[in-house]
């Protein structure tokens, strides 16, 4: 079976050397030297400032909401934040877990990111923020969203879990919004096994967040806020440092897979529309088979031929009852039914890539004739 992804495992000798240092220092967590080094190196690599490492990408979102005050309305009413239903469930569930009602707005039919006009239509007196997703590493319409947020005095937290290393108009995409969050889960392009990060626009917000991820503790005898434990440990940081050392090699190999798929499907299937000023981290290859209203049969056909694609992101989350949302987002529901993400990973062979392409083309033919 060809899986949809495999975690990138860096040079074992390098990792062992970092682990030897951890054993020598006996400093396992609480902003250890490897976490500090990874913070510095990631800021340099990504071209950002005010980066804070955390234990996972969901906590990154929740800390950002709390620091920016998305859970509070001026009138003391329950807060709402506008987000997309075409995403991993952690995006809206992290809002709901923090007492913020996710309000779904529809996506753009070409980019599959939040439609700014749909955002504007959902703003209410209870709206405190916007949580767009750079889905599959594609850039949201950041200029339009920034303008909407400024007009309505709203905070913007970008879920940038897919957008590690992506640049837009020559600068990091992570610089947009009041904060942008990253996931460093093992399945991501860059990972620390589990982990994540927040990039804040303002230094003051970074300092608040540093206290919140350590139980609100600001000194040996000082607790100044309601906090939580969201720190990254030294073993996670060690893995991150090793993976970062080999990012160029990793991305080059993933790029070859992505480009071959693009060559095969650009004229025969629907692909996500990406702005020309946007770089690509080759995190995902999403594809929609034209004339197929539902990808379920194609998914099963691929599976039968030894290809494990994924229906990222099905179902569209505006249909989940526990999120208490009455929205019906046509574009999101349509794309969620149709889209498949094909296997992309560092160690994927040329033969595997050609097998996936052939299996996809055969599956589409079979589905159309059924």
What region does 156 belong to: left with phi over 0, alpha with psi -120 to 50, or beta? Answer: beta
Whole-angstrom Cα distance, residue 134 to residue 14? 32
Question: How many other CB atoms sit within 10 Å of the CB of residue 268?
Answer: 12
Strand (E) or helix (H) holding 302: helix 296-304
Whole-angstrom Cα distance, residue 277 to residue 139? 10
User: Is the distance from CB of 230 to CB of 195 less than 8 angstroms?
Assistant: no
Burial class (CB in 10 A: 0-12, 13-18, 19+), 207: middle
User: Is the distance from CB of 172 to CB of 14 less than 8 angstroms?
Assistant: no
Catalytic entry in 155, 188, 201, 231: 188
Strand (E) or helix (H) holding 101: strand 101-104
What are the beta bridge partners of residue 197?
Answer: 53, 182
Enumerate the H helices of 26-107 as residue ranges. Answer: 33-46, 57-68, 90-97
188 carries an active-site annotation: yes
Residue 246 DSSP symbol: T
Residues with catalytic function: 188
């Amino acid at each position: 079976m060809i899986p949809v992804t495999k975690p990138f495992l860096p040079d074992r000798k390098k990792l062992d050397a970092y682990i030897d240092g951890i054993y020598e220092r006996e400093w396992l967590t609480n902003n250890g030297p490897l976490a500090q080094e990874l913070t510095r190196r990631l800021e340099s690599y990504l071209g950002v400032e005010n980066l804070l490492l955390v234990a996972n990408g969901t906590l990154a979102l929740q800390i950002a909401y709390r620091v920016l005050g998305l859970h509070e309305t001026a009138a003391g009413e329950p807060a709402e934040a506008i987000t997309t239903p075409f995403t991993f469930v952690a995006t809206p569930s992290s809002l709901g877990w923090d007492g913020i009602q996710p309000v779904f707005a529809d996506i753009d039919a070409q980019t599959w990111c939040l439609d700014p006009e749909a955002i504007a239509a959902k703003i209410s007196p209870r709206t405190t923020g916007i949580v767009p997703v750079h889905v599959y590493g594609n850039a949201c319409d950041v200029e339009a969203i920034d303008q909407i947020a400024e007009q309505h005095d709203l905070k913007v937290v970008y879920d940038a879990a897919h957008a590690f290393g992506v640049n837009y108009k020559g600068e990091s995409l992570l610089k947009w919004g009041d904060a942008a969050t990253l996931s460093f889960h093992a399945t991501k392009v860059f990972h620390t096994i589990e982990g994540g990060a927040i990039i804040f626009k303002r230094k003051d917000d970074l300092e608040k967040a540093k206290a919140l991820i350590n139980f609100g503790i600001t000194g040996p005898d000082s607790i100044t806020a309601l906090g939580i434990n969201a720190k990254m440990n030294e073993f996670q940081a060690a893995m991150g440092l090793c993976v970062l050392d080999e990012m160029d090699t990793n991305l080059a190999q993933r790029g070859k897979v992505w480009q071959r798929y693009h060559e095969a499907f650009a004229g025969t299937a629907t692909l996500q529309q990406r702005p020309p000023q946007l770089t690509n981290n080759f995190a995902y290859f999403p594809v929609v088979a034209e004339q197929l209203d539902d990808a379920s049969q194609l998914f099963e056909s691929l599976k039968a031929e030894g290809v494990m694609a994924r229906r990222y992101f099905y179902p569209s989350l505006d249909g989940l009852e526990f999120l208490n949302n009455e929205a019906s987002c046509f574009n999101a529901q349509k794309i969620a039914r149709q889209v498949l993400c094909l296997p992309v990973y560092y160690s994927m062979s040329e033969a595997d890539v050609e097998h996936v392409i052939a299996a996809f083309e055969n599956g589409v033919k079979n589905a159309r004739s059924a």
